[in-house]
């Protein structure tokens, strides 16, 4: 039987390396980018001299830790507490009948995040779909520096989710471990200029319980052989970007591409875009995309809103992320 | 009966009128330690610094202090203390170090930015941008 895992892993590694090469391309971000002078008092402005670049990390590759449905490379500053309120409406499939999903199916998530030590974020969240609890951690491995000595920032994100919805007949989750999913992601980003940042994030999702089917064959002991419709492990890659429109408004774009080929029920890609408004203590993102589950492992493994499929534009939905920050 | 009703109407009108205006407390003196008064701004006041300061101002300061530092931000009306008019000499005559102290420490309605802006360069950049409000 063809080994799907090795083939998928090769594809995954190729996509990852190509993405890394694009990321470190010298597109010329330095802290000495000249900017249009905005000062009114000319006596306060000295002749423009190139500011010496330093080894300090670049600022604001992204404004916060979320880019639509994905994590960014950002870990908030030490002792930040962050509350996430995330909402996804239904798809546009029913048109006016449920007002393009706004009055249709919904999914919501409450997230509680804290940065106990520098560069490390830990969090817990609760999502309406399947009553999913998540525990997760995020660590900033390296940060892009102003002098370019480190050309990219890289962060690891790990997430464990557990479905807690009822299963009175024991058919959905015969074993407790069937409720668990795992998600690992390496996020690599580069601030190209003051107005433009990009990010690439390969990931692997592991589900304990994969869908199976009766092959019709029988084993030597008489038991029926069950085949797997989907692999336990699923590889994917996300491409994201931010464009600064003003000091408080950003345009966000994102594309998630599944890499693993399953026998059936292959998850669909995700195309998403949105606007982000930032203030001192709040972030608001309005989203248009295909992902509805919010839980990253479920989005990557089970997304069936296919923008390239029959429903086309009707596979999109609106959502928002509302974030509140406190600094202690 | 008619005069009592008129009195009641006038009192209600005065009550509504009084509640329609914002009354700020008189600004208290804000002494600054000598260490900060004499502190020099290590960041050159060039266009790049002003640009960086403008971004910080828009995100962290504008909602109270207003786009041009006149104290007319969207949240200003809800404050007990007027955010101040930074275009005036009363603010512009203060040293960079004094402004730095007030931003870092905060007082009453003015929050401390010690934790929110741990990189001091951000605060100095904001101060360089504040100098552009000068009339």
pLDDT digit string, tens, across residues A175-222:
999 999 999 999 999 999 999 999 999 999 999 998 887 788 888 888
Chain A neighbors of B59, CB-CB under 8 A: 247-248, 278-280
CB-nearest partner of A38 from B45, B50, B121: B50
Q: What is the pLDDT of residues B59-115, one digit of tens each?
A: 999 999 999 999 999 889 889 888 999 999 999 999 999 999 999 999 999 999 999
pLDDT of residue A47: 42
Chain A neighbors of B91, CB-CB under 8 A: none
Buried b (16+ CB within 10 A) or exposed e, A289-321: bbbbbbbbbbbbbbbebbbeeebeebbbbbbeb
Query: Which one of A33, A56, A117, A247 would you mutate to disrupt binding with B, by most B Cβ within 10 Å of its Cβ?
Result: A247
Q: What is the pLDDT of residues A64-113, one digit of tens each?
A: 999 999 999 999 999 999 999 999 999 999 999 999 999 988 999 999 99
Longest CA–CA span in chain A (Å) reads 91
Higher pLDDT, A4 or A56: A56
pLDDT of residue A31: 37
**Do A39 and B55 make contact, defined as CB atoms within 8 angstroms?**
no
Q: Predicted confidence band at A9 (pLDDT cuts at 50, 70, 90)?
A: low
Q: Predicted confidence band at A38 (pLDDT cuts at 50, 70, 90)?
A: very low
- CA atoms in the 13 A half-sphere facing the CB of B116: 20
pLDDT of residue A212: 81
Q: Quick one: average pLDDT of B34-47?
A: 94
Is B82 part of the contact surface with chain A (CB cutoff 8 Å)?
Answer: no
CATH numbers and ranges of domains, chain B? 28-133 (1.10.760.10)
Q: Calculate how close chain B gets to A190, using CA atoms only, in Å.
A: 19
Q: Quick one: average pLDDT of B37-43?
A: 94
Q: Calculate how close chain A gets to B45, using CA atoms only, in Å.
A: 6
**Do A38 and B51 make contact, defined as CB atoms within 8 angstroms?**
yes
Chain A neighbors of B129, CB-CB under 8 A: 39
Is B51 part of the contact surface with chain A (CB cutoff 8 Å)?
Answer: yes
Report the residue of chain A nearest B115, measured CA to CA.
Answer: A327
Report the residue of chain B nearest A56, measured CA to CA.
Answer: B119
ipTM here = 0.75
How many angstroms separate the CA atoms of A117 and B54, rounded?
Answer: 29
pLDDT of residue A15: 57
**Do B119 and A41 make contact, defined as CB atoms within 8 angstroms?**
no
CA quadruple A192, A197, A202, A203: dihedral positive or negative? positive
Chain A neighbors of B55, CB-CB under 8 A: 60, 247
DSSP letter for each residue of A257-284: EE-PPPSS-PPPPEEEEEEEEE-SSEEE
Helices within chain A (DSSP H only): 4-23, 296-302
Q: Predicted confidence band at B4 (pLDDT cuts at 50, 70, 90)?
A: confident
pLDDT of residue A160: 98
Q: What is the pLDDT of residues A225-266, one digit of tens each?
A: 888 889 999 999 999 999 999 999 999 999 999 999 999 899
| Spans of all domains in chain A | 4-22+62-327
pLDDT of residue A33: 31
**Do B48 and A51 make contact, defined as CB atoms within 8 angstroms?**
yes
Chain A neighbors of B47, CB-CB under 8 A: 34-39, 45, 48
Q: Predicted confidence band at A27 (pLDDT cuts at 50, 70, 90)?
A: very low
Residue count of chain A: 328
pLDDT of residue A240: 98
Q: Predicted confidence band at A289 (pLDDT cuts at 50, 70, 90)?
A: very high
| Superfamily name and number for A4-22+62-327 | monomeric porin ompg (2.40.160.40)
User: What distances in angstroms separate CA B115 from CA A280, A298, B110, one per listed residue?
Assistant: 12, 36, 14
pLDDT of residue A3: 40
Residues 6+ apart with CB under 8 A from B115: A77, A79, A327, A328
**Do A280 and B59 make contact, defined as CB atoms within 8 angstroms?**
yes
Long-range contacts of A121-127 (CB under 8 A, 24+ apart): A121/A65, A121/A75, A121/A76, A123/A82, A125/A84, A127/A293, A127/A294, A127/A295
Taking Cα atoms as reference points, which of A79, A72, A139 lies closest to residue A283?
A72
Q: Quick one: average pLDDT of A277-289?
A: 94
Q: Calculate how close chain B gets to A152, using CA atoms only, in Å.
A: 20
- Judge residue A274's burial from the number of C-beta atoms within 10 Å of its C-beta, 0-12 exposed, 13-18 middle, 19 or more buried: buried
Residue A30 has pLDDT above 50, yes or no: no
**Do B47 and A40 make contact, defined as CB atoms within 8 angstroms?**
no
How many angstroms separate the CA atoms of A211 and B83, rounded?
Answer: 61
Taking Cα atoms as reference points, which of A289, A286, A294, A291 lies closest to residue A322?
A286
pLDDT of residue A191: 97
Report the residue of chain B nearest A279, measured CA to CA.
Answer: B59
**Do B54 and A34 make contact, defined as CB atoms within 8 angstroms?**
no
pLDDT of residue A227: 83
């Amino acid at each position: 039987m063809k080994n799907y895992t090795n083939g998928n892993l090769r594809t995954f590694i190729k996509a990852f390396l190509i993405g890394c090469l694009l990321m470190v391309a010298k597109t010329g971000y330095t802290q000495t980018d000249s900017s249009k002078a905005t000062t009114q008092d000319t006596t306060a402005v000295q002749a423009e001299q190139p500011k010496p670049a330093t080894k300090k990390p670049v600022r604001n590759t992204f404004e916060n830790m979320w880019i639509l449905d994905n994590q960014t490379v950002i870990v908030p500053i030490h002792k930040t507490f962050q509350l996430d309120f995330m909402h996804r409406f239904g798809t546009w499939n029913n048109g006016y009948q449920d007002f393009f999903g706004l009055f249709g199916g919904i999914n919501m998530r409450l997230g509680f995040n804290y940065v106990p030590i520098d560069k490390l974020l830990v969090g817990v969240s609760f999502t309406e779909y399947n009553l999913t609890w998540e525990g997760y951690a995020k660590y900033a491995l390296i940060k892009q520096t102003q002098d370019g000595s480190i050309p990219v920032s890289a962060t690891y994100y790990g997430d464990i989710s557990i479905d807690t919805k009822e299963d009175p007949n024991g058919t959905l989750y015969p074993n407790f471990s069937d409720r668990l999913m795992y998600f690992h992601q390496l996020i690599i980003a580069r601030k190209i200029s003051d107005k433009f940042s990009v990010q690439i994030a390969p990931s692997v999702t592991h589900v304990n319980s994969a869908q199976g089917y009766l092959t019709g064959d029988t084993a030597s002991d008489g038991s029926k052989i069950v085949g797997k419709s989907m692999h336990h492990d699923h590889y994917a890659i996300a491409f994201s970007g931010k464009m600064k429109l003003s000091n408080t408004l950003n345009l966000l774009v994102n594309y998630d591409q599944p890499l693993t080929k399953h026998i059936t029920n292959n998850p669909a890609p995700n195309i998403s875009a949105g606007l982000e408004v930032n203030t001192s203590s709040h972030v608001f993102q309005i989203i248009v995309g295909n992902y509805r589950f919010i839980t990253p492992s479920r989005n990557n493994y089970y997304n069936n809103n296919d923008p390239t499929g029959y429903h086309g534009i009707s596979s999109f939905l609106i959502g928002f992320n509302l974030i509140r920050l406190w600094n202690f | 009966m008619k005069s009592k009703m008129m009195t009641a109407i006038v009192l209600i009108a005065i009550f509504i009128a009084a509640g329609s205006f914002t009354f700020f407390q008189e600004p208290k003196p804000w002494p600054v330690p000598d260490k900060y008064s004499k502190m020099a701004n290590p960041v050159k006041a060039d266009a790049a610094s002003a640009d960086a300061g403008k971004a910080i101002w828009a995100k962290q300061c504008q909602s109270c202090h207003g786009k041009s530092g006149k104290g007319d931000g969207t949240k200003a009306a809800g404050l007990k203390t007027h955010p101040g008019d930074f275009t005036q000499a009363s603010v512009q005559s203060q040293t960079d170090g004094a402004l730095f102290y007030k931003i870092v420490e905060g007082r009453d309605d003015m929050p401390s930015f010690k934790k929110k802006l741990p990189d001091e360069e951000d605060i100095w950049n904001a101060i360089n941008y504040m100098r552009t409000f000068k009339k």
